[in-house]
């Protein structure tokens, strides 16, 4: 996509400098002209180059307070949350899976040097037991000694310029800035407990506009550090995710869920978090719910190296992708929307961004985002999607009821027609629905349908599909070529149940047929 097409699509339309009602992001690539030592996007960067990129991105991505330093109040407890989900040699680990330690160190230095923070904590909860945990699974050893994220020695090769451990880095900052307190907290063992010592659940706090939990269970185990700190900086690595599409600022909150409370015996994975709080076959609800307990005060995204196809190793040499960029800003929704674009996704397909925007955590409207620094539409590539990836299906329907139509808004991709309509799936029952989508012009694409039942589908009055499905249901499992007209397009569905079940989803993709919503298409509200 060239610059003209990019802007025409409404993605990252530039704002006038200083526009007060626009959220600001700083984007710095290693080719940035104002860097002291610009480098190609394929070059292995030095620590000095990474540090300068981080500092410049933070300065460009200034919050509404004027600067990151101005937003951090004197004496504040600042928590920096990177992604360190695995340690070598875990079989799921690959280069690009965790936040580059040079990025974490640069953020730590920026806060220590330029703010009046009183305490600066690096906090993370990963898949590794602490040294005094009696369990024997997910134990990491080096030189026959148990280690964790804080004392694991990374050596000097993987992150050039960073030599040693996270704990050693924190100790060095304590020596350099003796007036501040530095420490590390393992969030996996930091669950809030009640007076009896039992893990304590908290309901998701309501947003200012009254939005509560999205997860199937609305109360969560949370950590002391995340809920009690004064200022939280999320420092994720930019990569593809198997379920949510991308992982960046908000997905980084999964590491804030205390594993001691959510792991099953014999493993150290947040299994119960997934089982109890997923909804609509998505993890997006609990991503946003966890972030609701303390939304990011600032975001710095490590875009140096990441993983395509999915978020952890699939043991392929081409899975690690180098981009050599840093993104920074105070709006996590805007930042993650930008990450989606940089990875080649359509931001409107990110379910968790819609939820976060509903909670007023930030803006998804690309015209309300000002990008300072490098052009967001240049030097990008399309990262490989996860297997079976599909974008966000239509949520706005009208269903025939009696002699009229009633609007239905599906909370997730799939519409359960008997439940949504209130009409039992008796013999001879037919559910008739319509949906409308606006296209920016004549567009070819593919209609993806998920179905349990018998369906006949019309687009603008012409039949485009008709088939039965009584096999295992999956959203967006059937694909048919379609041609959209400029402006409003109407889809009509007649669905008959099979074995008492009638399920339906609908998505329109582009000519690549890769699961992304057709660029510029918008589903209309009923």
Which residues, listed in sequence order, are joined to residue 141 by a DSSP beta bridge?
146
What are the tens digits of pLDDT across the range 73-92?
999 999 999 999 999 999 99
Confidence class for position 380, pLDDT limits 50, 70, 90:
confident
Quote the mean pLDDT of the chain.
94
Please determine, for residue 16, whether its predicted confidence score (pLDDT) is greater than 80: no
Query: What was the pLDDT predicted at 427?
Result: 86
Please determine, for residue 408, whether its predicted confidence score (pLDDT) is greater than 50: yes
3-state class (DSSP) for residue 501:
strand
Query: What was the pLDDT predicted at 195?
Result: 97
H/E stretch holding 48 reads helix 47-60
Query: What was the pLDDT predicted at 4?
Result: 30
| Cα gap 259→130, rounded to integer Å | 11
Confidence class for position 19, pLDDT limits 50, 70, 90:
very low
Joined tokens for residue 495: 């669905």
Residue recorded with tokens 């047929």: 513
Residue recorded with tokens 């050596």: 155
Query: What was the pLDDT predicted at 237?
Result: 98
Please determine, for residue 9, whether its predicted confidence score (pLDDT) is greater than 90: no
Query: What was the pLDDT predicted at 419?
Result: 93
Q: Is 476 left (phi over 0), alpha (psi -120 to 50) or beta?
A: left
Distance of CA 166 to the CA centre of its chain: 25
Nearest CA among 168, 61, 44 for reference residue 105:
168
Sequence-distant (≥ 6) Cβ neighbours of residue 175 within 8 angstroms: none
Please determine, for residue 235, whether its predicted confidence score (pLDDT) is greater than 80: yes
Contact 16, 371 (CB under 8 A): no
Query: What was the pLDDT predicted at 1?
Result: 37
Q: What is the DSSP string of 166-192?
A: HHHHHHHHHHH-TTSEEEEEEGGG-B-
Query: What was the pLDDT predicted at 38?
Result: 98
pLDDT above 70 covers a percentage of the chain that reads 96
Joined tokens for residue 334: 């805007």
Q: What are phi and psi of 506, to 5 degrees?
A: -145, 135
Residue recorded with tokens 């695995």: 86
| Cα gap 373→16, rounded to integer Å | 14
Q: In what order do the strands lie in the sheet with 231-235?
A: 181-186, 119-124, 77-82, 231-235, 298-307, 320-329, 23-29, 369-373
DSSP code of residue 402: T
Query: What was the pLDDT predicted at 13?
Result: 35
State pTM to two decimals: 0.94
Distance of CA 363 to the CA centre of its chain: 14
Please determine, for residue 451, whether its predicted confidence score (pLDDT) is greater than 90: yes
Query: What was the pLDDT predicted at 184?
Result: 98
Q: Between these two residues, 8 and 249, which has the higher pLDDT value?
A: 249
Confidence class for position 21, pLDDT limits 50, 70, 90:
confident
H/E stretch holding 156 reads none
| Cα gap 13→21, rounded to integer Å | 14
Query: What was the pLDDT predicted at 5?
Result: 37
DSSP code of residue 151: T
Domains and CATH numbers, the chain: 3-373 (no CATH), 396-523 (2.60.120.260)
Distance of CA 500 to the CA centre of its chain: 36
Joined tokens for residue 513: 């047929």
Query: What was the pLDDT predicted at 14?
Result: 36
What are the tens digits of pLDDT across the range 254-287?
999 999 999 999 999 999 999 999 999 999 999 9
Query: What was the pLDDT predicted at 433?
Result: 96
What are the tens digits of pLDDT across the range 280-338?
999 999 999 999 999 999 999 999 999 999 999 999 999 999 999 999 999 999 999 99
What are the tens digits of pLDDT across the range 150-176?
999 999 999 999 999 999 999 999 999
Nearest CA among 115, 111, 123, 117 for reference residue 150:
123
Average pLDDT (436-457) is 97
Query: What was the pLDDT predicted at 329?
Result: 98
What are the tens digits of pLDDT across the range 342-371?
999 999 999 999 999 999 999 998 899 999
């Amino acid at each position: 996509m060239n610059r003209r097409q990019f802007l025409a699509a409404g993605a990252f339309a530039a704002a006038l400098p200083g526009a007060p009602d626009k959220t600001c992001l700083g984007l710095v690539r290693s080719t940035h002209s104002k860097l002291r030592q610009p480098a190609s996007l394929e070059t292995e960067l030095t620590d000095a180059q990474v540090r300068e990129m981080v500092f410049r991105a933070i300065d460009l991505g200034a919050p509404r307070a004027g600067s990151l330093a101005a937003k951090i109040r004197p004496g504040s407890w600042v928590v920096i949350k990177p992604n360190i989900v695995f340690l070598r040699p875990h079989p799921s680990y690959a280069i690009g899976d965790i936040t580059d330690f040079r990025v974490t160190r640069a953020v730590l230095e920026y806060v220590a040097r330029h703010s009046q923070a009183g305490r600066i904590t690096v906090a993370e909860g990963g898949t590794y037991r602490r040294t005094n945990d009696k369990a024997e699974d997910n134990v990491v050893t080096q030189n026959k000694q148990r280690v964790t994220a804080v004392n694991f020695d990374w050596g000097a090769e993987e992150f050039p310029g960073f030599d040693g451990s996270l704990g050693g880095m924190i100790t060095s900052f304590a020596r350099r800035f003796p007036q501040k307190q530095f420490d590390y907290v393992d969030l996996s063992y930091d669950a809030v407990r009640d007076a009896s010592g039992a893990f304590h659940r908290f309901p998701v706090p309501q947003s200012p506009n009254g939005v509560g939990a999205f997860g199937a269970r609305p109360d969560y185990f949370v950590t002391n550090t995340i809920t009690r700190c004064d200022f939280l900086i999320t420092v994720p690595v930019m990569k593809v995710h198997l379920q949510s599409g991308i992982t960046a600022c908000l997905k980084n909150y999964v590491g804030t869920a205390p594993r001691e409370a959510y792991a099953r015996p014999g493993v150290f994975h947040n299994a119960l978090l997934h089982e109890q709080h997923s909804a609509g076959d998505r993890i997006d609800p609990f991503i946003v719910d966890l972030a609701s307990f303390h939304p990011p005060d600032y975001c710095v995204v490590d875009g140096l190296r990441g993983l395509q196809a999915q978020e952890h190793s699939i043991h392929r040499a081409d899975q690690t992708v180098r981009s050599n960029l840093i993104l920074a800003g105070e709006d996590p929704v805007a930042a993650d929307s930008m990450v989606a674009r940089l990875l080649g996704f359509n931001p409107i397909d990110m379910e968790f961004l819609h939820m976060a925007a509903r909670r007023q955590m930030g803006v998804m409207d690309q015209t309300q985002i000002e990008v300072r620094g490098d052009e967001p539409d240049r030097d990008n590539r399309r990262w490989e999607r996860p297997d079976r990836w599909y974008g966000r299906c239509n949520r706005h329907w009208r269903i025939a009821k009696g002699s009229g139509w009633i609007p239905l808004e599906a909370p997730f991709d799939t519409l359960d027609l008997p439940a949504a309509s209130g009409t039992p799936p008796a013999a001879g029952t037919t559910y008739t629905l319509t949906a409308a989508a606006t296209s920016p012009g004549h567009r070819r694409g593919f209609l993806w349908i998920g179905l349990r039942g018998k369906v006949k589908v019309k687009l603008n009055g012409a039949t485009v599909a008709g088939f039965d499905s009584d096999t295992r249901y999956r959203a967006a499992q059937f694909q048919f070529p379609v041609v959209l007209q400029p402006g409003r397009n109407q889809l009509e569905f007649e669905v008959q149940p099979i074995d008492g079940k009638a399920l339906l989803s609908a998505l329109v993709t582009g000519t690549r047929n890769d699961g992304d919503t057709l660029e510029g298409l918008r589903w209309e509200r009923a």
